[in-house]
Amino acid sequence: MRVTNPYFYFKSAIPEKKCKEIIAYGLSKMTVDEQKGISSVAATFDGKEKGGVDMKGNKATGKATGGANKQTLKKKGIDDKTSYVRDSYVSWLNDRWLYDLFHPYVHEANQKAGWGYEWDFSESFQFTVYKGHKTQGQFYGWHADGQSDWQGAYKPAINTGTEKKPIWHLVERNQDGSIKLDGQGKPVPHKDKAPLRRNGNLGPGFTDNQHMWDKVRKISMTVNLTNPKNYAGGNLKFDMGDHSAKKYKICEEIRPTGSIIIFPSYQYHCVTPVTRGIRYSLVLWSLGRPFR
């Protein structure tokens, strides 16, 4: 899909004091989660994060892709199918004040960029930590946040067990494809169970959040919370396509503290390895029905 404006940004929109407040809150949430046994290691749908496992339980790591494309990896003798694409730490935030702060920017960008995408729900905010190292800094390799078509829509699942011992099921659907409801207006569990990942987690693309069912990520937002003097590397980089005058674009616009960049979720992008310091960011995805 081609658009006139592949991204829209707001330079230094959030005061540095507020950014520090978000960083402190994100780190505290990470600590609380770890005390509850919730891992802060960022995961991917296919298990290709550092230390991750695929759906079959096989270790899905090899060498780091960093910010390299497939051609570069091939020259280095790295198989992109066995290398890992993500290395970072995350916590999840869903406080109302964060939505009140950032949703207006999503609405404004959607209008002024000329996209006009229909969306009606946003996921939890992902607070992300990329730790720097001269040769092995954390990163997020080339990816798109969402496919935006029906194949990429979140699939519904229902837990008929408990929180500690979940029993996941698919949901029944009517002939028109809509969710089947019982006499109390609740979704009807299907007799078949939903695919599970290891440790009882839902399989890739499944969710029990009914606000996300049959929807796709349409708009992505990234906020740079870090003073650019405090880290090196960690560049947000876009793949603008083979027919662009310049295929790869480093978004220098987001380097200043508190800068916001918003783009269609199908846009391919990466975060190059952080080579010094720590990069803190906040990410949000806004959802809607697949494009028609």
pLDDT of residue 61: 66
Instruction: Write out the E strands in the chain.
Output: 8-10, 86-87, 89-93, 121-122, 125-131, 139-143, 155-156, 158-159, 168-171, 189-193, 206-207, 216-224, 231-233, 236-239, 248-250, 260-264, 269-271, 274-288
Using CA atoms, how far apart are residues 8 and 261, in angstroms rounded to an integer?
Answer: 6
Q: State pLDDT tens for residues 134-184.
A: 989 999 999 999 887 888 899 999 999 888 888 999 999 999 999 999 999
194 secondary structure, DSSP code:
P
Strand partners, 9: 261
Nearest CA among 283, 287, 262 for reference residue 120: 287
- Name the residue among 269, 266, 268 with its Cα closest to residue 291: 266
Scanning the chain, the segments in alpha helix (DSSP H) are 16-35, 70-75, 96-112
Domains in the chain, CATH or no CATH each: 8-42+88-143+215-286 (2.60.120.620), 154-205 (no CATH)
Q: Report pLDDT digits (tens) over 202-251.
A: 888 899 999 999 999 999 999 999 999 999 999 999 998 888 778 899 99
pLDDT score for 74:
83
**What is the model's pLDDT at position 65?**
85
pLDDT in tens, 251-273: 999 999 999 999 999 999 999 99
pLDDT tens sequence across 64-118:
888 788 888 888 887 777 788 899 999 999 999 999 999 999 999 999 999 999 9
What's the pLDDT tens digit per position in 84-99?
889 999 999 999 999 9
Torsional class of 8: left (φ above 0), alpha (ψ -120 to 50), beta (otherwise): beta
pTM of the model: 0.92
